[in-house]
Amino acid sequence: MMDVRKSAERGHAEHGWLDSRHTFSFADYHDPAHMGFRSLRVINEDHVAAARGFGAHPHRDMEILTWVVSGAVQHSDSMGNRAVVRPGELQRMTAGTGVTHSEINPSPAEELHLLQIWIQPEKHGLEPGYEQISFAGRFEPGRLLLVASPDGRDGSVRIHQDVALYDGLLESGDRIEHALAPGRHAWLQVVSGTVDAGGNVLHAGDGLAVSDESTLALAASAPAEVLLFDLA
């Protein structure tokens, strides 16, 4: 079973300095039919104006992943972490018992484009934590690269949930097949370009929920990037 979530159907928030699209219910956007998928709770596609951003604000009991498409994020948190996240890097913050952080676009001229992803953790009350890994030099067109997993295998970021997250870069003509074990589910988020996923033509911003399937086949007729979540 496959269910397409079209980009244009997502929730939309426009704040002048922030243009945000919500795949699932978030903040003032509430849709009972789209409250998340499995443990995946939030996928927000944010465009942040130069020299603007999210001031210090709290989180708890959530695994928060940041994937930068273009530009950079300047991160600061109550655990003492200070970092800049750029394309090709994945940041994971375990909010656990409580964390305050800020995310700012440090560029005076360039817009920041990012995906903010929230995953419900395996349990509440985890110790807050932070991890950031660069995958520069490890991406290969036509191949899914593991960037997050429960055990941090293959040099991936460790997340506290039974989710494997892959990034895929596809050139024109590339085909990828991802096998799903019995009882597993998948969410595909198209970051850029256009792909055929199991017979569904998806464009940038589109998502696809997959259940009761043994494989998910991807094909690209032009360059594209996808994020694939393999979920319990």
pLDDT of residue 21: 98
Q: What is the mean pLDDT of residues 161-178?
A: 97
pLDDT of residue 74: 98
SS3 for 23? coil
Mean pLDDT of the chain: 97
Name all domains of the chain by residue range, CATH numbers in brackets. 9-134 (2.60.120.10), 143-231 (2.60.120.10)
Residue 40 burial (C-beta neighbours within 10 Å; 0-12, 13-18, 19+): buried
What would the pLDDT profile of 176-199 be if each residue is shown by its tens digit? 999 999 999 999 999 999 999 999
What would the pLDDT profile of 4-32 be if each residue is shown by its tens digit? 999 999 999 999 999 999 999 999 999 99
The pTM of the full predicted model, rounded to 2 decimals, is: 0.97
How many whole angstroms from its chain centre is CA 157? 13
pLDDT of residue 228: 98
Sign (positive or negative) of CA dihedral 190, 23, 13, 122? negative
